[in-house]
Structure 1
Amino acid sequence: MTPVRILVVDDEPDMEPLFRQQLRRDLKKGRFELSFATSGRDALSLMDEDEPPSVVLVLSDVNMPGMSGLELVARLRPLRPSLTISMVTAYDDDETLAEARARGADRVFSKPIDFALLKDYLNDLIAA
């Protein structure tokens, strides 16, 4: 089985160990492969280098310094129309949710992340 490649974009340094801890069983089984970027610019660079395309899901924080996650999704969507892009936000008000969807986000998760819900979502992606 080829692992599902996930790019997590978040400026908080504790997100990488958190994701690695929460998904450790799936990472050991080779179901997922995680990459991390701490800014929208870093994420775009990683995606430029992703040839042939292997990233299946981008999971980006909405609020980051420099390029926001909303700007990132708006830039990624035309480059990779079939890419699944989900957003994570601590501010899950209706305006933020609507803007994320309008810019091309497939799904929006609230912080703190419910990893059981995220795992169900990832399992659905694998099954599709």
Structure 2
Amino acid sequence: MSVYILVVDDEPDVEALFRQQFRRDLKAERFKIEFAPSGHEALVRAAGIKDPSLILILSDINMPGMSGLEMLPRVRAERPHVPVIMITAYGDAETRRKAIERGAVGLLTKPIDFSLVRHEIDTRLGQAA
């Protein structure tokens, strides 16, 4: 079974950054990463990846159209067992509170600390096994 991580961000360089950071994992097929450039596209992709193979969603907060905070309760309603971690350039207490209230399990600030992301992925892979 393949397991997936969904990364939601409207910045085009994010995909290349994640692929570079996790190139060994991707080559070894430990997991696959799907990318969505918007909240709307993330909802479509999250619905298309069948249970239980979607193990984690990482989403930017500030995106045009549907923000990550607007997407969050909708994706949690659709996929309640998939943890969502929000990513933002503004890690203030109010943003963190809103994210947690809407169902996020955590909040990472930019620039992204990929050692934290790796720890989260490893935790989810252990739970999925």
Q: Which residue of 2 aligns with 1:20?
A: 19
Distance 2:28 2:44 in 1: 28
Q: Which residue of 2 aligns with 1:72?
A: 71
Structure 1 unaligned segments of length 5 or more: list them. none
Matched positions, count: 127
Deviation of 1:125 (Å): 1.4
Q: Is the 8 A contact 2:5 2:54 kept in 1?
A: yes
The alignment's TM-score, normalised by the length of structure 1, stands at 0.93
- Structure 1: 4+ residue segments shifted above 6 A: none
Q: Which residue of 1 aligns with 2:50?
A: 51
- 2:125 maps to amino acid: I
Alignment of 1:99 onto 2:95: no
Distance 1:86 1:118 in 2: 9
SS at match of 1:125: helix
Deviation of 1:104 (Å): 0.2
Task: Spell out, residue by residue over 1:32-80, the C-alpha distance to the aligned partner (whole angstroms, 9 max, x if none).
Answer: 2010000001111112322355321111001101100011111111111
Q: Which residue of 2 aligns with 1:124?
A: 123
- 2:26 maps to amino acid: L
Structure 2 unaligned segments of length 5 or more: list them. none
Distance 2:94 2:106 in 1: 14
Q: Which residue of 2 aligns with 1:110?
A: 109
Percent sequence identity over aligned pairs: 51
